[in-house]
Amino acid sequence: QTSSTHWPSEECFFQSRFFFLNLYSPMYKRSPDMTKSPMTKSEQLLRIDDHDFTMRPAFGGPPIPVGVDVQVESLDTISEVDMDFTMTLYLRHYWKDERLSFQSTNNQSMTFDSRLVKKIWVPDMFFVHSKRSFIHDTTTDNVMLRVYPDGNVLYSLRVTVTAMCNMDLSRFPLDTQTCSLEIESYAYTDDDLMLYWKKGNESLNTDDRISLSQFLIQKFHTTTKLAFYSSTGWYNRLYIHFTLRRHIFFFLLQTYFPATLMVMLSWVSFWIDRRAVPARVPLGITTVLTMSTIITGVNASMPRVSYIKAVDIYLWVSFVFVFLSVIEYAAVNYLSTVQERKERKLRDRLPCTCGIGNPDEMMIDPQITGYGSMDINTMGNYGMPENGGRPERMLAQVALNDPQIASQVKPSRGYVNIWIDTHAIDKYSRVVFPGAYILFNIIYWSIYS
């Protein structure tokens, strides 16, 4: 029994000794797991838990100044249809938060990523009139926070924003547009936060390589204004203005030159014989349809605005010129028909020439014509006038030269006028149409260029 009671106490003694050796031996002592620590060393240095960072710095005191500067990386797209633009930029904020001040022997700043941003106070900036915006996150969030020993803070982020741009397209495509990107605090009025450009106009920097296919970037500049909301109050608002002038060469090749060529092509019909209906009618219809296609193509890529654009004026005036060339031929054709009817009635009133075997012999017979001996070439030219008149018309004219015949026929003044006007329409159109179109171009380009 004594032996049975001695061994258990000895076993307990060795187990207890082994336990204490393991507990206090440096070999077996474990270091604390820093990854599971509730606060990192930087957060301990900045005393994150000692302050309430849901409140702005110097809460209850004067408004905190927040300086801003912007580096424009790219101006991606300008859309006339959606009336907006897309811009990628580096947005930097500067302010002082004494709660983040720390001791430093070498006065060096500390730089952090987006993880610390969620634990401290930062300005709540947003883009007014923006449609879409995002912070780049490849390969990690493009956010940088830099804290200086005296509490000054630099907060920088890389953002792409699509914002509204109200464009006046009344001079399109000979227009100049000015767009603005507006930055404002969402929650803090000017009583709590004073937003300003840190270096004035020098706060805005642009990349020299920025270029657009349709626009020439003329200038960037900044302004500051106050914005009022009836329910919340006054807010500081920062503006980034940039002026764009549209390149005209693309529209000259795609719109203006084709329209001008179609108008010039419609003038070809003035030199075609008016009796060549299969030649003149398809030419007029083709030019009208081509102008309609050009107008439709231009308007398809434009917003449906309620005012007239400069390109609309040029295209519709060109369309009117083309359309008038078709109307001109309709007038010529109609007057020619009326003229032939007058000639037919006049020929019916003349003495019967059934006994004349050859009308040409009658035309050159001095006893009939009353002209005496004439050169056969002269009579040939007279018999077939320049305007393509018929021999019957010449016969009627020759017959009217005979006083005996002319006394039997009443003078047909209308016949003579119609004959002259029918020739004059095409002849005058060859001069009036090009002259009027050239005058229109001079006035148009002097106003819009």
What pLDDT, on a 0 to 100 scale, did the predictor assign at position 52?
A: 80
CB atoms within 10 A of CB 177: 21
List the domains of the chain with CATH numbers: 64-246 (2.70.170.10), 250-342+436-448 (1.20.58.390)
Cβ atoms of 412 and 389 within 8 Å: the answer is: no
**Could you tell me the two tokens for 390?**
């018929």
What pLDDT, on a 0 to 100 scale, did the predictor assign at position 421?
A: 45
CB atoms within 10 A of CB 94: 18
Distance CA 347, CA 396 (A): 6
3-state SS, one letter per residue, for 148-202: CCCCEEEEEEEEEEEEECCCCCCCCCCCEEEEEEEEEECCCCCCCEEEEECCHHH
Determine phi and psi for 387, rounding to 5 degrees.
Answer: -80, 10
End-to-end CA distance of the chain: 122
What pLDDT, on a 0 to 100 scale, did the predictor assign at position 333?
A: 86
What pLDDT, on a 0 to 100 scale, did the predictor assign at position 136?
A: 95
What pLDDT, on a 0 to 100 scale, did the predictor assign at position 179?
A: 96
Distance CA 225, CA 190 (A): 11
State the sign of the Cα–Cα–Cα–Cα dihedral 254, 257, 263, 266: negative
Determine phi and psi for 412, rounding to 5 degrees.
Answer: -110, 80
3-state secondary structure of 215: strand
Give which of 272, 399, 411 is closest to 342, Cα–Cα.
411
Strand partners, 219: 243
What pLDDT, on a 0 to 100 scale, did the predictor assign at position 39?
A: 53
290, amino acid identity? T
Q: Spell out, as residue ranges, where the chain has pLDDT lower than 70.
A: 1-42, 350-423
What pLDDT, on a 0 to 100 scale, did the predictor assign at position 16?
A: 54
What pLDDT, on a 0 to 100 scale, did the predictor assign at position 352?
A: 55
Angle 310-349/277-300 helices, nearest 10 degrees? 160
Distance CA 228, CA 203 (A): 24
Cβ atoms of 145 and 123 within 8 Å: the answer is: no
What pLDDT, on a 0 to 100 scale, did the predictor assign at position 404?
A: 53
Dmax over CA atoms of the chain, in Å, equals: 181
Tell me how far the alpha carbon of residue 428 is from its chain's centroid. Answer: 41
